[in-house]
Amino acid sequence: MALTSRILAVNILPLLLLGGGFFYLDSYRKQLLTERYKLARIEAQITAEALAGATRERQEALLVQIGKEQRMRLRMFDAEGRLWADSFALDSEPAFTFDDPRDDNLNEDFAQMLDRLVDTVVGADPIPDYIEPEEAVADAWPELRRARAERLSQIQLRDAPDGTPVINAAAPVGLRGATLLTTRNAVDITESVREARSTLGMAVLAVLAASILLSLFLARTIVTPLRLLASAAVKVRQGRERAVEVPRLPERSDEIGQLARAVSDMTTALRNRMDAVESFAADVAHEIKNPLASLRSAIESLPRVEDPELRKRLTDVATHDVRRIDRLVTEISDASRIDAEISRATLERLDLAQLVKTIIGSREDRDENQDRKIQLQIVGMAPIVTGVPARLERVVENLLDNAVSFSPPDKPIDVVVFGSTDQVILTVNDYGPGIPEDAREKVFRRFHSVRPDSEDFGNHSGLGLAIARTIAEAHDGTLTAQSREDGAEGACLKLELPAAK
C-alpha cells in the first residue's frame, strides 16, 4: 500500500468508527420510545379513571380538553366495541395531522432514507404502518382487543406515513366494558434522533474533511520528497547518475531533510568512488601495458636471435618484466582491498615506537637499508595507537623505502616518534633532493613515481605512498609531505594518528 494511502487510512479510520455512532443512535431512539410507552400507558390509565365516573357530557368535554392539551386523539368504545366518542369529531380542529410524504422536501426524503438505512443495518424489527380501519369498531385495533380481553392497558407502535412513530395506548374504562384508545404522533422523538444524527453527521463530515486535507498535506510533505529521492536513486542505479541532481532540501530541518542530504552526500561519494575506480582501472591498464609490451617484444625476438649474449639480455629483460608485472599485480591487489580489510579487521592497541624499532632492526638484518643509517628518536608520551598492526607496519615500510631511495649513502635517515594525549606523530626525514611544494600532493597519487637515476627502472610500482596514505586515512589519520623542520635539504613525510583512548 502506498504511503499516502496509509496516512489517509490511519487518519480516516477513527473518523469512520466515530461515524458508526449513526447506528448507535438507534439505541437512543429505543430508549426514548420506551420512556414514551410508559408515559402513554400512564396517560391512558389516568384518563380512563377520569372518564369512568363522569357523565357523557363531561366525558366528551374531557376528551376534547385532554386531546388539545396533550396533542392526542382520544376515542371511546362502548362494551359492544362500537365507537361512540372521538376527540377529532367532537372538536372543530384536530389536535394533530399526519404530514403527507408527497409534500416532503429533499432534506426530509434524505432523512427518511437514512432512517430506513439505519434500521436495515441494525436489523430493527419491522413496524406496521398506521392505517385507519374501514370500520370504527374496537376489534379493528389489536391493542383494543387485548385490552378488552385482559382488562389491562396495552401499547402498540406504528409508523405514520411520513415515517414518524405513532403510539397507541388502549385502556379499560370502568367496569362496564368500555375502552379508551389514545393516539399520539411522537414527532419529537424522530426530530430528536434526526437532530442528533444531523449534528453528529456535520461534525464527522467537518472533521473528516479537515483530516483528509491534513493527511494529504502531510502525505505531500513526506511522500513528494521521498518520490524525488527514489526517482533520483533509480536514475543513479540505471547509470544516468551524471545527469541527476539529487535534491538536498536545505529548507527542511526534519528527518526528510536529513535523509535527502544523506542521499545527496552518498551519491557524491559514489560518484567520486566510481571516478576513482575508473581512473584506477585506466592507470592499471597503462602501467601493465608497458611491461607487457616489453615482455612481448623480448619473447618475439628470442627465436630469431642466435647470439648467446643477446639472448641472455633478452631473457633478463623478460624476467625483469615478469617480476615488474608480478610486483604491480601484488601492489594493485593490496591497494584495492585495503579499506575492506581494515573495516573487517580487529583493531589492537600498539606502541608505534616499538613497531618502528622492530621494523628498523628487521630491515638491517635483511640489508634493505642499503647501508643508510636510520636514527630513531622517541619524544613525549608513550605513542600508543589503535589499529591493524600489519597495515601500520606497511606504512612504516613504505616511508622507509621511500627515504632509502632518495637519501645519499653518507647521510642518515632521521625517524622521530612523538606521543601526546591526543595524537601520535611519526616523521621520516631524509637528506635527498626534497619534494617541490607543487608536487607534494602528486607523490601520493597512484602510479606517480619519480625515482633517482641510480635505481633500476621498474623496481617501484608508484603505489607505495598512495597505499600508505590510504592506510593512514582508514585509521582516521593523515599522511603528508613537507619540508624538513630543521631547514635542511631533503623531504619530510609526516604520519599523524589519533592516540589510543
Higher per-residue confidence, 391 vs 169:
169
282: confidence class by pLDDT, cuts 50, 70, 90? low
Residue 29 has what pLDDT? 77
Stretch 57-70: mean pLDDT:
91
Do residues 112 and 104 lie in contact, with contact meaning Cβ atoms separated by under 8 Å? yes
Nine-digit cell string for 7? 496516512
Rounded distance, CA 393 to CA 475, Å? Answer: 13
Residue 24 has pLDDT above 90, yes or no: no
Rounded distance, CA 472 to CA 474, Å? Answer: 5
Three-state secondary structure along 20-53?
CHHHHHHHHHHHHHHHHHHHHHHHHHHHHHHHHC
* Angle 148-124-20 from CA coordinates, rounded to 5°: 145
Residue 474 has what pLDDT? 84
Residue 457 has what pLDDT? 41
Domains of the chain: 3-198 (3.30.450.20), 246-344 (1.10.287.130), 346-501 (3.30.565.10)
Task: Determine if the pTM surpasses 0.85.
Answer: no
Do residues 491 and 404 lie in contact, with contact meaning Cβ atoms separated by under 8 Å? no
Provide, rounded to the nearest whole percent, the portion of the chain with pLDDT above 70.
80
Let me know if 376 is exposed, middle or buried by CB neighbors in 10 A (0-12, 13-18, 19+): middle
239: confidence class by pLDDT, cuts 50, 70, 90? low
Do residues 465 and 444 lie in contact, with contact meaning Cβ atoms separated by under 8 Å? yes
Stretch 217-224: mean pLDDT:
74
Residues in the chain: 501
Site of grid cell 494511502? 5
Residue 170 has what pLDDT? 94
Q: What is the DSSP letter of 346?
A: P
Q: What is the CA radius of gyration of the chain?
A: 52
Residue 459 has what pLDDT? 47
Give residue-wise pLDDT tens across range 174-189. Answer: 878 899 999 999 888 8
Higher per-residue confidence, 416 vs 454:
416
41: confidence class by pLDDT, cuts 50, 70, 90? very high
Residue 456 has pLDDT above 50, yes or no: no
Least confident of 45-49, 112-116, 266-270, 474-478: 112-116
Give residue-wise pLDDT tens across range 311-320. Answer: 788 787 788 7
Closest CA to 392 of 332, 474, 335: 474
Mean pLDDT across the chain: 80
